[in-house]
Amino acid sequence: MQVFVVEGHELVRLGLSDLLEDEGCEVVGGSASAIEAIRDIAHLRPDIVILDGHLSDGTGVEVCRMVRSIDPGIRCLMLTSFDDENALRRAVLAGASGYLLKEAGNHRLVNRVRRAAAGETLLASGSIARARAQLSQVLSHRRPPLFTALEWQVASLIVQGLSNREIGTHLVLTDAVVTGLVSSVLATLDASASRSTPLRPGFGDVQA
In a domain, 199, yes or no: no
In a domain, 146, yes or no: yes
In a domain, 164, yes or no: yes
> What is each CA distance from 69 to 45, 103, 123, 178, in whole angstroms?
12, 30, 20, 11
Q: What is the pTM of this model?
A: 0.88
Contact 75, 98 (CB under 8 A): no
In a domain, 84, yes or no: yes
User: CB neighbours (10 Å) of residue 76?
Assistant: 26
In a domain, 163, yes or no: yes
pLDDT (mean) for 83-103:
91
Contact 163, 191 (CB under 8 A): no
Q: Name the more confident of 192 and 144.
A: 192
Boundary (domain end) residue, out of 105, 123, 141:
123
CATH of the domain at 173: 1.10.10
Question: What number of CA atoms fall less than 13 Å from residue 131's CA on the CB side?
Answer: 29
Tell me how many domains the chain contains: 2
Size (the chain), residues = 208
What would the pLDDT profile of 161-188 be if each residue is shown by its tens digit? 999 999 999 999 999 999 999 999 998 8
Domain range for 156 = 126-194
Instruction: List residues bridging with 52 in a β-sheet.
Output: 79
